[in-house]
């Protein structure tokens, strides 16, 4: 399967995870809150990276909320995900979304332990 044959798919995470990512975007009206990202796409990339690094994917459940496809091009990640996409006959969007879902779970877990978002990169 060539790069042209890899299915792109679309990005989407559970509504719960989407709400979490929105809550991580800086808000000038809430400057003391743990909101280290400038956009939801930055927060999504962070969650994806956490999930990818953990090597775990979480199936999305419930209603699915989309993530800005123009600002997160799944093909930019084909080099690191090509083998996984080919092996499992899955789209890049699905793989990325499931890694991001895992990342959101890791963020939630950090919050439940009163840790900051950025403590996850220490």
Q: Which domain holds residue 20?
A: 3-121
Number of domains in the chain: 1
- 80 pLDDT band (50/70/90 cuts)? very high
pLDDT of residue 71: 83
What secondary structure does DSSP assign to the chain, as a single string? --GGGS-----EEEHHHHHHHHHTB--TT-TTSS--BSSHHHHHHHHHHHHHHHT------SSEEE--TTTS-GGGGHHHHHHHHHHHT--HHHHHHHHHHHHHHHHHHHHHTT--GGGGG-
How large is the average pLDDT for residues 99-119? 95
How large is the average pLDDT for residues 98-112? 97
pLDDT of residue 5: 79
Model confidence pLDDT, tens digit, residues 38-76: 999 999 999 999 999 999 999 999 899 988 767 889 999
């Amino acid at each position: 399967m060539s790069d042209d044959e890899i299915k792109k798919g679309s990005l989407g995470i559970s509504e719960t995870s989407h709400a979490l990512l929105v809550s991580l975007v800086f808000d000038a009206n809430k400057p003391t809150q743990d909101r280290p990202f400038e956009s939801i796409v930055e927060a999504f990339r962070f969650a994806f990276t956490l999930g990818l690094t953990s090597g775990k994917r979480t199936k999305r459940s419930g209603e699915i909320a989309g993530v800005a496809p123009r600002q997160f091009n799944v093909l930019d990640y084909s080099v690191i995900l090509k083998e996984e996409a080919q092996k499992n006959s899955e789209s890049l969007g699905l793989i990325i979304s499931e890694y991001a879902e895992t990342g959101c779970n890791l963020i939630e877990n950090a919050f439940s332990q009163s840790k900051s978002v950025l403590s996850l990169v220490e």
